[in-house]
Amino acid sequence: MPIKNSNKQKNNNKDQQLLTKYYKLEKELYQKKLLSLTDLSFPSFMCIGAQKAGTTWLYANLKKHPEIKLARKEYHYFDKDAKFYTPLKNYCKYFKSRNNKISGDITPSYSVLEKDRIKLIKALMPNLRLIFIMRNPIDRALSAASMRFSKKMKKDINSVSDEDFIDFLSMPGVIKRGRYLQTLENFLTYFNKEQLHIEFYENIKNEPEKLIKRIFSHIQVNPKIDLKGFPLKKVIHKGKNEKFIPHQGVTNFLEETFRNDIDQLKEKFGDVIAHW
């Protein structure tokens, strides 16, 4: 690399490091209430996951409610450093109130946020209403694998070896997304139980009207509106390989990985997930 280009790259790296420090300090000042939040707008509710558990269905139905304004689905402001280390106003510009409508942030990756980021969210949005949809973590992981291999890598999922499957399923990010008890513990460290509403993926199929009305009530919009025209029974982004049958080695790996979590979840939530 020519010396001139090398120096330019070094200067760019230094500039980026300075910006990162600056916007990290900005968040700390907001958190400590040394900067005013008065002129900033925030979402009224946040769906924190789980990934591959019906959050796109939720988005499609919430945006139909006349009291809700959703500019987009996933913002990734708090989980991706490239966005987090930018001005907070970059995030807030999406949530300016219009016609008294409320707004929300549906970003499933927030389920794996570290506690320091959750603490910041609580400081910025003390009255935030949270939504968390759980899906059997084994099925969730298999659905994530299906998306990875068939949609992103354009592979016939039936041709993927057990070794490749398990390599993907072993990734910390994949496993962490199925550790629902850890997600609950992390968020309930800062938010009270009344702020967190939990639903289950199966009820999107079994009782979609009741489920969406429970969520309407939780986020404090009218739950008694006419649901005609809502895509309650529409399958959003269905993968063509969602029902593939994994080999026994893959199933055994996932059973071993998540069995203890599932047993604890059954103790906590009872019959609604007895079939997991």
Q: Across residues 113-129, what is the average pLDDT?
A: 98
Question: What's the distance, Cα to Cα, between the start and end of the chain in Å?
Answer: 56
Confidence band of 155 (pLDDT split at 50, 70, 90): confident
Write down the pLDDT at residue 12: 73
DSSP 8-state assignment for residue 54: S
**pLDDT tens track for 9-60:** 766 788 889 999 999 999 999 999 999 999 999 999 999 999 999 999 999 9
How many Cβ atoms from other residues are within 10 Å of residue 272's Cβ? 16
The strand pairing partners of 200, in sequence order, are 134
d(CA 209, CA 228): 11
Mean pLDDT of the chain: 92
Helices (H), the chain: 3-31, 55-62, 81-84, 88-92, 115-124, 137-146, 162-169, 172-176, 180-188, 202-206, 208-218, 248-269
Q: What is the pTM of this model?
A: 0.91
Q: Across residues 255-268, what is the average pLDDT?
A: 97
**pLDDT tens track for 204-231:** 999 999 999 999 999 999 999 999 999 9
